[in-house]
Amino acid sequence: MSTLNSAAAELIARSNRLGADPKNTNYAGGNTSAKGTETDPVTGQDVELLWVKGSGGDLGTLKESGLAVLRLDRMRALVDVYPGVEREDEMVAAFDYCLHGKGGAAPSIDTAMHGLVDAAHVDHLHPDSGIAIATAADGEQLTTTIFGDKVVWVPWRRPGFQLGLDIAEIKAKNPQAIGCILGGHGITAWGDTSEEAEASSLWIIDTAAAYIAEHSKAEPFGPALDGYGALPAAERLAKAAALAPTIRGIASQDRPMVGHFADTDVVLDFLAAAEHPRLAELGTSCPDHFLRTKVKPLVLDLPADASVEDSIARLKELAVSYREDYQGYYDRNATPESPAIRGADPLIVLVPGVGMFSYGKDKQTARVAGEFYTNAINVMRGAEGLSTYAPIDEAEKFRIEYWALEEAKLQRMPKPKPLATRVALVTGAASGIGKATAEKLAAEGACVVIGDLSLEKAQAAAAEIGTADVAVGVQVDVSNADAVQAMVDAAVLAFGGVDLVVNNAGLSLSRSLLETTEKDWDLQHDVMAKGSFLVSKATAKVMIEQELGGDIVYISSKNSIFAGPNNVAYGAAKADQAHQVRLLAAELGEHGIKVNGVNPDGVVQGSGIFASGWGANRAAVYGVEEQDLGKFYAQRTILKREVLPANIANAVYVLCTAELSHTTGLHIPVDAGVAAAFLR
């Protein structure tokens, strides 16, 4: 069993420390390296190697598998065959011929910077304080003022082989220097040991931050803009939830997106100041920032107290102009060799007094895009506080956004799962059918909101599925309209909207007609008939506003068709649900919303209904032991199979896939075959 080289081990530890603190670099931003010696397994001779964080990895979570390992002699020999800056992209493919051993990550565009600089350990980071200096109009002078000759200014150059040569030359000509400020971009630091490199990086970051704090003007974003201050928290969240479906629709015209909402002080303070329209229009500068956020955001130009209706109308107007503007940006800069336009929708939408909506192919990507724009705001504050914010120009941004290498990286991404970008809301999802359904939808790529009467159980079920980027738990009493609306608001704030709804919440009391009380009747109809109506109404409003279509699935029952004994309230409520499917399918089809149902029977395993007394009652009716009820139900079916929660979940999933894109108003029996419940 091989042991990790000590240089590589130190590199991973340093990377994890640096990446754990957001003041040092953004998620998946920057890269680090170490040089050391290892025995060549072929020759038995010592060979110098470069370990460098691979393409797309994150410093905070970097592991050995995330490192690219290259032969240093071969990598440095590339200098002799370098064809010049016009063809420097070819050098990335050449890195593959310098790799040592098997496995490991793909070398990134910054590999040359690490290999060519004559230092054992090199860090390239994207700290807000460093980028603030890098994007200031007089950044070169500020670099000298702040750091003296310990840090050298490097004019903007796109990442690549030539930048690596430039920094190597700077290091050679400035032996006193510990690093440099890369104009418009970030910082690079080095050291003879891992400790020295880390200390150099932190000194640059902290020295820049301290200088900004001491010398920044009092209002770097200008004076407060009347009427643009933050709304009170409750009002802010209510308005955000009301606007979220519209904004998600705006961000999803080219392709569906998952959303994230943030109302941090950084964002709210920026939007409350007079200079925010000018600065937002200038766009971001660091390549990592605008690759995640697009070159600039869409900014609502209305005060915080503008009505939801007026805000929606204006957002829709701005969306048209944003798309036209982005198309113009593409047309001005594209060449015949450029990749096709990737879509003209905004990834960041800013609403004064409310906050920031960010979007991506999944929740993590959406959340990180928002974090990156927060970084960009911090950068603007620092640059404006000392000087004037001056990001790299549009043409350079386009060269990176539509870089052939970036396009190749996107093409290597794995194919998305069938339900990727879809937001599912499942009621009664802390156990049984609901839990199995939530697990299935999440496994197939959906973000899932677990609604349940018990908040504790809902959150526990969500935690079993994954992080808050995948699933969240919400308390809801589906018979209460306000509680249902609160659940839907929580869903749109968590993931941007709702696309797929499963009306699963239910209960049952097994009693004869004469034993069924009015309270029994009302309870079951309130939860299943009324509850499904309330959930469908609240979520259909979101889906209609998003203009992305959607799915509503009712978990009805065999008992909506089959008339059994001691079951009047439950069976009638299930029949109500079954007809809601048909009624809503007819009504919502014009909006691209499909409404279908699943009719289970005899799902005993994990069932909250059966565990709450229904199982004991049904076992008594049929004269079997309660623990044998599932087997009993199986034997009375045509297929002689017990129906499990996963079987229902599979049916829900199939109804929501592209394969059944033309199916609505359907009920699927999942009962292992009960002839009396056949649909006619």
The string of DSSP letters for 402-470 reads T-HHHHHHHHTSPPPPTTTT-EEEEESTTSHHHHHHHHHHHHTT-EEEEEES-HHHHHHHHHHH--TTT
pLDDT given for residue 611 in this prediction: 64
Q: Phi then psi for 273, rounded to 5 degrees?
A: -105, 155
Instruction: Confirm if 203 and 257 have CB atoms less than 8 A apart.
Output: no
pLDDT given for residue 51 in this prediction: 96
User: Which is nearest to 122 in space by CA: 35, 218, 237, 12?
Assistant: 35
Interior angle at CA 222, CA 218 and CA 226, nearest 5: 120
The average pLDDT across 635-659 equals 95
Whether 373 is a known active-site residue: answer no
The average pLDDT across 43-59 equals 92
The average pLDDT across 108-118 equals 94
Region of poorest pLDDT, from 268-277, 280-289, 291-300: 280-289
Q: Does position 308 have pLDDT exceeding 90, yes or no? A: yes
* Single pTM value for the model: 0.94
The average pLDDT across 310-330 equals 98
Q: What is the pLDDT of residues 126-153, one digit of tens each?
A: 999 999 999 999 999 999 999 999 999 9
| pLDDT band per the 50, 70, 90 thresholds, residue 610 | low
Q: What is the pLDDT of residues 66-108, one digit of tens each?
A: 999 999 999 999 999 999 988 888 898 899 999 998 888 989 8
- β-bridge mates for residue 599, sequence order: 669
User: Which is nearest to 171 in space by CA: 238, 124, 237, 235?
Assistant: 124
Instruction: Confirm if 451 and 471 have CB atoms less than 8 A apart.
Output: no
pLDDT given for residue 186 in this prediction: 95
**Residue of 211, 570, 633, 653 marked catalytic:** 570
Q: Does position 498 have pLDDT exceeding 90, yes or no? A: yes
Number of H helices and E strands in the chain, helices first, is: 26, 18
| CA–CA gap between residue 552 and residue 423 (Å, rounded) | 12
Q: Does position 506 have pLDDT exceeding 80, yes or no? A: yes
Pairing relation of β-strands 67-71 and 179-182?
unpaired
DSSP annotation of 565: S
Helix (H) or strand (E) holding 175: none
Return the percentage of the chain with pLDDT > 90, whole number.
Answer: 83
pLDDT given for residue 1 in this prediction: 36
User: Which is nearest to 294 in space by CA: 384, 375, 390, 398?
Assistant: 398
Report the mean per-residue pLDDT for the chain.
94
| CA–CA gap between residue 348 and residue 390 (Å, rounded) | 20
DSSP annotation of 582: H
Q: Does position 399 have pLDDT exceeding 50, yes or no? A: yes
Q: What is the pLDDT of residues 363-377, one digit of tens each?
A: 999 999 999 999 999
Helix (H) or strand (E) holding 29: none
In this structure, what is the dihedral angle of CA atoms 371, 373, 377, 383, given to the nearest 10 degrees?
Answer: 110
Q: Phi then psi for 38, rounded to 5 degrees?
A: -145, 160
